[in-house]
Amino acid sequence: MVHRAPALFLADTLGLDFLNSIATSGDERVDWIGDGEGLLAWLEQAELVAPIAVAALREQAMPGELDAVAAQARSLREEFRSFVHAHRGRPLDAAALAELAPLNRLLARDEGYLRLAVAEDGGDGGAPALRLRTERRWRSPESLLLPLGEALARVVGEEDFSDVKACEGPACTLLFADRTRGRVRRWCSMAICGNRAKQAAHRDRARKGLGAAPA
């Protein structure tokens, strides 16, 4: 069995987390959807596909079919990454819609539907005991692309592209939506690139201090 590192969910919006499913860590490039099993694992971790649906699709898939779908997912990811980098940092205008025609075609294939179900909290605290849930018919492995398309569409429809940023880490490729007050976020994570930047600044100050002439 291949042991995969947990996926990164640092972007504060799932569509950008999907773009971050390939990332540079030090000198190593990691792709969490490098094959079909990686795609299934990422979708499960993102809670976009229930484990029971993953198991059913794995069982019905023909040899190589899931790998082919993963290749389509990577293509979708990189096409949308180009769109984000072309438009991030400023509001989207209506002219951007023409660039999203392939994404709209994918969304048109969706077979989602609403279903009434018992609330996960059981209606505790006076909340309704029954809730509306969005379900999806998983007719083929290619249907795994549908929740990815929805996540990307939500980035366009729900995020202000003025707040979409790239991490300032020199080797980092991660994107995120800046939700901080004053929109001052600079790093994918303070524990990762933020900490590296602090360490680098500390080393730089120490080096300048050692090289300074005595008073």
pLDDT at position 128 is 81
- Alpha carbons 180 and 31: distance in angstroms, whole number: 28
Asked if 99 and 87 count as a contact pair (C-beta separation under 8 A), the reply is: no
Q: Tens of pLDDT along 147-203?
A: 999 999 999 999 999 999 999 988 899 999 999 999 999 999 888 787 775 666 556
Structure tokens at 134: 């969005």
Q: In the CATH scheme, what is the code of domain 14-92+140-211? A: 1.10.3300
pTM of the predicted model, to two decimals? 0.86
State the average pLDDT for the chain: 89
Q: Tens of pLDDT along 48-85?
A: 999 999 999 999 999 999 999 999 999 999 999 999 99
Question: Residue 113: left if φ>0, alpha if ψ -120 to 50, beta else—which one?
Answer: beta
Asked if pLDDT for residue 1 goes beyond 60, the answer is no
pLDDT at position 215 is 42
